[in-house]
Chain A
Amino acid sequence: MAVIEIRNLSKHFDRVHAVDGVDLAIPDGELAVILGPSGCGKTTLMRMIAGLEKPTSGTISIDGVDVTELPPRVRPIAMVFQSYALYPHMTVFNNIAFPLKAHGNLSKAVIKEKVEWAASILGIEKLLERKPRQLSGGERQRVALGRALVKEPKILLLDEPLSNLDAKLRASARDELQRFQRRLGITTIFVTHDQIEALGMGDRIIVMSQGKVMQIGTPQEVYHKSANTFVATFLGSPGMNLIKQEKYLLGFRPEQFVPQETAERKDDLQLFPFTVKRVEYLGAEQQVYGTVNGMNEENRIISSLSSETNVKIEPGQTYTFAVHKDQLRYFDPDSGLLVEPGQMGDLK
């Protein structure tokens, strides 16, 4: 259990700035999720924390100790790769025992005891004699976790550990992983491109794009108070609607953009004439694609409505849709940054 501090960390591959001046502090026991589209540098950032990649500049320290120059094997970390990277020629027992043997000085009895401890936490005691190829995806993930935990690292790094599981298993694995992290209280960094995983599991989310940190905050903060247009449009499915107005970009979430008559509160509504082009039925919800009329520029707006709604929406018709004024967000069109309502005077 430990604090990680990252200062001004960069990694350049020739001209590509995979990670570009990242500052980050992760407190003890936190489950921090690094979220971003593929190629945003999140895996490179994690590999630098693990020591597998040498930073171009900047420092990484764990519990106040600068580890920037240390090789992976002496850092107090463990890592689970996306592929799980189980040693295919070793049994589950030997896979889990590998980090213990590598660190040396442990008697066979102690190793056995520790492996059994890790296996019992993860419920894989019965698999110890099997080879990785005889395991299912979920079992492999547990073995990989067991191998990571057995050396009792201060920091656990998880690189998209759920992406190889099928959708149903993923939901339960998510839940299990989170409970497990809470129980052990181990500082964990979880890399993913899946916002559901990020929002559902993270104590805090670090949103990255093009090597830079876009926003750090709780799931609620990054979703409802997105710091810029990238975070606003990347989070949510679909992402936030943006309409270009004279001095700022107006943003609102699709699920907050509803027919006027179904709005929860009737006061303080911002009304929009909305011409529907297409309705997509998705089971529990429906997505309505269309255009808000009377704006300077052509726009494509999406509204997510419950399929249970009793307002009939037909393509080609124009309806009055509404957003509560406190749910409207304003962004600077040049920098893309969120503009707080207090600063609005300057822009208007």
Chain B
Amino acid sequence: MENHATQNRKWSGRFRYWTDREDILSSLFLFPAVIYIVALVGVPFLIAVAFSFTDVTAGNTSLNFTGLDNFRAILKTPQFSQSLKNTISFTIISQIIIIILANILALVLSMDFKGKWFARFLIMLPWATPIALGTIGWLWLLDSKFSPIDWTFRYLHLLGEPDALLGDTKNLFYLGRLELAKASIILIYVWRMLPLSAVILMAGLTSIPQDLLDQADVDGAGFWRILFQIKLPLILPIMSIAVLFSIIFTVGDMAVVYVLTRGGPVYYTQVLPTWAYYKGIESGALAEGAATALFLFPVLLAVAIFVLRFSRRTEVT
């Protein structure tokens, strides 16, 4: 008994010492995360950077430093410039739509109404679905023959009849017509990122002190003035973070285009991640694929730094 007690004391004494050492504990707790990030993000990233300056291919593993040749080469191809244009335009258009809709959604969801909990749950669903699965669902919805959306239009006499608003063809062929294919991709980006942005903005809205809103009410401000002069300026910092997240997720996403259009018709809906994949993995040009994938990295880095500084500067409390 006595022996056991002494042992216990000894152990708890030693244990207490090193749990009191914050320097040891903090490194210990951070260690798994650091390993994870270094192994799965850091190393592949550095390898990609290294590859982009060489002539490596999937068939020939010898490495020769070639400087900026890869970048010069990809810049000359029409596929690359189309992908670059698409990535930028898809991102900008979807972000504008997302930020407008997310603000409306956040405002609605932060009001008091019956079934608020259920509405919030429904809104969050797209974010909880794996993006590839969600996109497959959309693939079916946008099917060239069996699209339920087309079916609905036909039922409403908007499609498939002479003089119908959307044309006299039986189907709209969403993924086969260039403008509709692009619009579909943007639609799915919006569907995908809207929940997260709305929830972030909602958190921002609920963090505005009620006193301020009451004060604005007493001061004589109506709905729009409170929205544009009080609420939006106050959530601007958090809104910029939501936009940053959304931009990074959208620019880096390859699942939507890969599942939905595979870059088609022809290569007109390719984005940089899918083009990098086709180039680097499917056709084995590792070095050019790496260069394609890394092309937007400096731009994204600059955007991230700008947004973070902006949100810091507009922070008011």
Chain A residues within CB distance 8 Å of chain B: 47, 50-52, 71-74, 77-79, 81-83, 85, 87-89, 98-99, 101-103, 131, 133, 147, 151
Q: Identify A77's interface contact among B212, B216, B218, CB under 8 A.
A: B218
Q: Identify B215's interface contact among A51, A77, A79, A89, CB under 8 A.
A: A79
Given contacts A85-B212, A87-B212, A102-B225, contact A52 B217 (CB under 8 A): yes
- Interface pair B233/A89, CB less than 8 Å apart: yes
For the complex, give the distance between the alpha carbons of A131 and B314 in Å.
12
Given contacts A85-B212, A87-B212, A89-B233, contact A79 B317 (CB under 8 A): no
Summarize B's interface: helix, strand, loop or mixed.
helix
| A residues less than 8 Å from B300 (CB atoms) | none
24 A-B pairs with C-beta separation under 8 A: A50-B218, A51-B217, A51-B218, A52-B217, A72-B217, A72-B220, A73-B217, A74-B220, A79-B214, A79-B215, A81-B211, A81-B215, A82-B211, A83-B209, A85-B214, A88-B234, A88-B316, A88-B317, A101-B225, A102-B221, A102-B222, A102-B225, A103-B220, A147-B219
- Interface pair A81/B219, CB less than 8 Å apart: no
| B residues less than 8 Å from A131 (CB atoms) | 316
For the complex, give the distance between the alpha carbons of A131 and B315 in Å.
12
Given contacts A85-B209, A87-B212, A88-B316, contact A71 B230 (CB under 8 A): no
For the complex, give the distance between the alpha carbons of A99 and B218 in Å.
8
Name which residue of chain A comes closest to B222, CB basis: A73
| A residues less than 8 Å from B212 (CB atoms) | 85, 87
Task: Please give the distance in Å from B299's CB to the nearest CB on chain A.
Answer: 30
Given contacts A81-B211, A85-B212, A87-B212, contact A133 B317 (CB under 8 A): yes
Which positions 84-134 of chain B face chain A at CB distance < 8 Å? none
For the complex, give the distance between the alpha carbons of A157 and B295 in Å.
60
Given contacts A52-B214, A85-B212, contact A73 B316 (CB under 8 A): no
- Interface pair B218/A72, CB less than 8 Å apart: yes
- Interface pair B316/A133, CB less than 8 Å apart: yes
Contact flags B201-219 to A (C-beta < 8 A → 1, else 0): 0000000010110111111
3 nearest A-B residue pairs (beta carbon): A102-B220, A85-B215, A88-B316
- Interface pair B230/A73, CB less than 8 Å apart: no
For the complex, give the distance between the alpha carbons of A29 and B159 in Å.
71
For the complex, give the distance between the alpha carbons of A151 and B215 in Å.
14
| A residues less than 8 Å from B229 (CB atoms) | 98
Task: Please give the distance in Å from B217's CB to the nearest CB on chain A.
Answer: 5
Name which residue of chain A comes closest to B215, CB basis: A85
| B residues less than 8 Å from A103 (CB atoms) | 220
- Interface pair B219/A99, CB less than 8 Å apart: yes
For the complex, give the distance between the alpha carbons of A87 and B316 in Å.
9
Chain A CB within 10 Å — which of B222, B229, B234, B317 has the most?
Answer: B229
Name which residue of chain A comes closest to B219, CB basis: A99
Which positions 51-94 of chain B face chain A at CB distance < 8 Å? none
- Interface pair A89/B220, CB less than 8 Å apart: no
- Interface pair A98/B219, CB less than 8 Å apart: yes
| A residues less than 8 Å from B218 (CB atoms) | 50-52, 72-73, 77-79
| A residues less than 8 Å from B222 (CB atoms) | 73, 102
Name which residue of chain A comes closest to B226, CB basis: A102
For the complex, give the distance between the alpha carbons of A82 and B220 in Å.
19
- Interface pair B220/A151, CB less than 8 Å apart: yes
Task: Please give the distance in Å from B294's CB to the nearest CB on chain A.
Answer: 38
Given contacts A52-B214, A131-B316, A133-B317, contact A89 B219 (CB under 8 A): no
For the complex, give the distance between the alpha carbons of A85 and B213 in Å.
9
Name which residue of chain B comes closest to A52, CB basis: B214
For the complex, give the distance between the alpha carbons of A105 and B233 in Å.
24
Given contacts A102-B221, A103-B220, contact A81 B214 (CB under 8 A): yes
- Interface pair A89/B234, CB less than 8 Å apart: yes
Task: Please give the distance in Å from A253's CB to the nearest CB on chain B.
Answer: 38
For the complex, give the distance between the alpha carbons of A147 and B215 in Å.
10
| B residues less than 8 Å from A51 (CB atoms) | 217-218
Q: Identify A73's interface contact among B221, B233, B317, CB under 8 A.
A: B221
| B residues less than 8 Å from A85 (CB atoms) | 209, 211-212, 214-215
For the complex, give the distance between the alpha carbons of A47 and B212 in Å.
14
| B residues less than 8 Å from A147 (CB atoms) | 219
Which positions 213-260 of chain B face chain A at CB distance < 8 Å? 214-222, 225, 229-230, 233-234
| B residues less than 8 Å from A151 (CB atoms) | 219-220
For the complex, give the distance between the alpha carbons of A152 and B222 in Å.
19
For the complex, give the distance between the alpha carbons of A87 and B230 in Å.
7
- Interface pair A83/B211, CB less than 8 Å apart: yes
Task: Please give the distance in Å from B112's CB to the nearest CB on chain A.
Answer: 14
For the complex, give the distance between the alpha carbons of A164 and B70 in Å.
65
| B residues less than 8 Å from A87 (CB atoms) | 212, 215-216, 230
Task: Please give the distance in Å from B38's CB to the nearest CB on chain A.
Answer: 40
| B residues less than 8 Å from A89 (CB atoms) | 233-234, 314, 316
Contact flags B275-317 to A (C-beta < 8 A → 1, else 0): 0000000000000000000000000000000000000001011
